[in-house]
Amino acid sequence: MGNYSRRLTGIQAKMEEKGLDLVVLGASPDYQYLTGAPVEWRRGRDLTHPADAVFVPKEGEPIILAGMSSIKKARQGWVDEVRGLGMFENPAPAVKEIIKELVDEPKKMGVGEYTWGSLVLVVASSCKGASFRSAEGLLDDVRMIKEPGEIDRLRKAAKLTEDVMSRIIDQIDAGETMRGAGLKIETMGRMIGASDTSFPATAGFCKSGGEPTDEVFNYERSQGLEMGTSIAFDVGFVLDGYCSDWGRSFYYGEPEEHVEKAYAALQTAVVETADDIGNEVHKVNEIFPSIELICDREGYGDYLRARLPDGTVGHQIGVEVHEDPWLKPENSHELVDDMIFCVEPKLWHRGEYYIRVEDMVLIKNGKAEFLTNYDRERFKL
């Protein structure tokens, strides 16, 4: 069970800071995180009721408004007050009543970006004279620090992902296609327990000795795999409402020495950088420079910069696969206990290889712990 008191206190503190009297969050990651209700938001707006939303006052407890198709899920969260709407019922009276109960005369409103436009218009008509602003980001600082239950869920999602890949890797053979491999990965994940994918699975092929192009993958999606090809996997699943994100590269055939050394260099950069967290690396924007320095030392820095010219090398992860703060130069957040992020450097040698390593990393007791530990020595298929 999540610490929902902490989450509510966190968003209300931000509301106080921003001068917001009321926040309305439609079916969204923030709605899920704040209420604990397994609301549908990953697959599309047409799967939610236009009036699905949680109304959050700057003091006191929120109220949920839910369509009849989603009211059972809304009641699975901690919020006591859940009000339902009939399929064709006009939401205006219910919205007006909720707002009046929570805030007598709201002057400044925050609206989540997943909120249906039709609901925003109803809210606006019930709050004449109020000003509106985006409510996105109000929970970012709270979501950045994971609670014990969240860490457990993310750990399980990471394990499921590596279990999937341990079953898939040896199925890759000549004639396999990028499209086919991606579908196999997604199907296997669902077969062993994933409720969804974090994003469409990628198995990207880059044949060595090809013409240099501006595309990292020089195969067509339905073109069969040939010897002398690097395969870059980018895979993520959803388990119990939380995401994974994992990446490795393998080589089909006998790699030339410079290709094999490139993969070893990238793995070395990731592991040494993780080891330096708490010593030389203290902030999210110090992760890329550390990886870059090690890749330069190993002779592969130019190939790192070829793919990551802006120095962005990863992101936080939780109910969404990509959460703030991203591991980019302008973000100077301290690396603190219970952050979980994905570090994902890539090396790109045009016409020769595209290689990636991505791991989920937990900060605990000031140090880094890998939640993903797939065999770092294996490169050849």
Helices (H) and strands (E) in the chain, counts: 11, 18
Predicted local confidence at residue 104, as pLDDT: 86
Q: Which residue has the tokens 């999606």?
A: 221
165-170 long-range contacts, Cβ below 8 Å, gap at least 24? 165/233, 165/235, 165/246, 165/248, 165/374, 166/374, 169/250, 169/381, 170/381
Mean pLDDT along residues 72-83: 96
Predicted local confidence at residue 211, as pLDDT: 86
Mean pLDDT along residues 286-299: 98
Q: Which residues, 6 or more positions from 137, have their beta carbon under 8 angstroms from its beta carbon?
A: 324
Q: What is the pLDDT of residues 48-60, one digit of tens each?
A: 889 999 999 999 9
Predicted local confidence at residue 237, as pLDDT: 98
Predicted local confidence at residue 88, as pLDDT: 84
Q: What is the pLDDT of residues 91-112, one digit of tens each?
A: 999 999 999 999 988 999 999 9
Distance CA 57, CA 61 (A): 7
Residue at 133: amino acid letter:
R
Predicted local confidence at residue 20, as pLDDT: 98
Q: What is the pLDDT of residues 236-292, one digit of tens each?
A: 999 999 999 999 999 999 999 999 999 999 999 999 999 999 999 999 999 999 999
Distance CA 243, CA 195 (A): 10
Weakest-pLDDT range from 40-49, 303-312, 329-338? 40-49
Distance CA 216, CA 205 (A): 8
Domain spans in the chain, listed from the N-terminal domain onward: 4-141, 145-370
Quick one: pLDDT band at residue 1, thresholds 50, 70, 90?
A: low
DSSP per residue over 115-177, as a string? Answer: S-HHHHHHHHHHSTT-EEEE-TTTTHHHHHS--HHHHHHHHHHHHHHHHHHHHHGGG--TT--
Enter the CATH code of domain 4-141: 3.40.350.10
Q: What is the pLDDT of residues 120-162, one digit of tens each?
A: 999 999 998 999 999 999 999 999 999 999 999 999 999 999 9
Q: Which of 9, 6, 4, 47 is nearest to 26 (CA)?
A: 47
Residue 344 zone, left/alpha/beta (φ > 0; ψ -120 to 50; rest): beta
What CATH number matches the domain at 145-370, 2.40.160.100, 3.40.50.720, 3.20.20.70, 3.90.230.10? 3.90.230.10
Predicted local confidence at residue 118, as pLDDT: 95
Across the chain, mean pLDDT equals: 96
Greatest Cα pair distance in the chain: 71
Token pair in block for residue 233: 């996997």
Residue 362 zone, left/alpha/beta (φ > 0; ψ -120 to 50; rest): beta
Token pair in block for residue 143: 């979501």
Count CB neighbours of 44 within 10 A.
8
Q: Is the pLDDT of residue 334 over 70?
A: yes
Distance CA 108, CA 23 (A): 9
Q: Is the pLDDT of residue 46 over 90?
A: no
Predicted local confidence at residue 47, as pLDDT: 73
Q: Is the pLDDT of residue 302 over 90?
A: yes
Beta strands per DSSP E along the chain: 22-26, 53-57, 63-67, 82-85, 108-111, 131-134, 196-197, 202-207, 229-235, 237-239, 242-243, 246-252, 314-316, 340-343, 346-349, 353-356, 359-364, 367-370
Indicate if 145-370 has the same CATH topology as 4-141: no
Q: Which residue has the tokens 């994918």?
A: 197
Backbone angles phi, psi at 8, to 5 degrees: -65, -45
- Cis ω on the peptide bond leading into residue 325 (within 30° of 0)? yes
Residue 146 zone, left/alpha/beta (φ > 0; ψ -120 to 50; rest): beta
Q: Strand 22-26 vs strand 108-111: parallel, antiparallel, or unpaired?
A: parallel
Distance CA 29, CA 36 (A): 10
Is residue 80 exposed (0-12), middle (13-18) or buried (19+ Cβ within 10 Å)?
exposed
Predicted local confidence at residue 152, as pLDDT: 98
Distance CA 264, CA 258 (A): 10
Q: Say if CB 151 and CB 158 are below 8 A apart.
A: no
Distance CA 185, CA 308 (A): 26
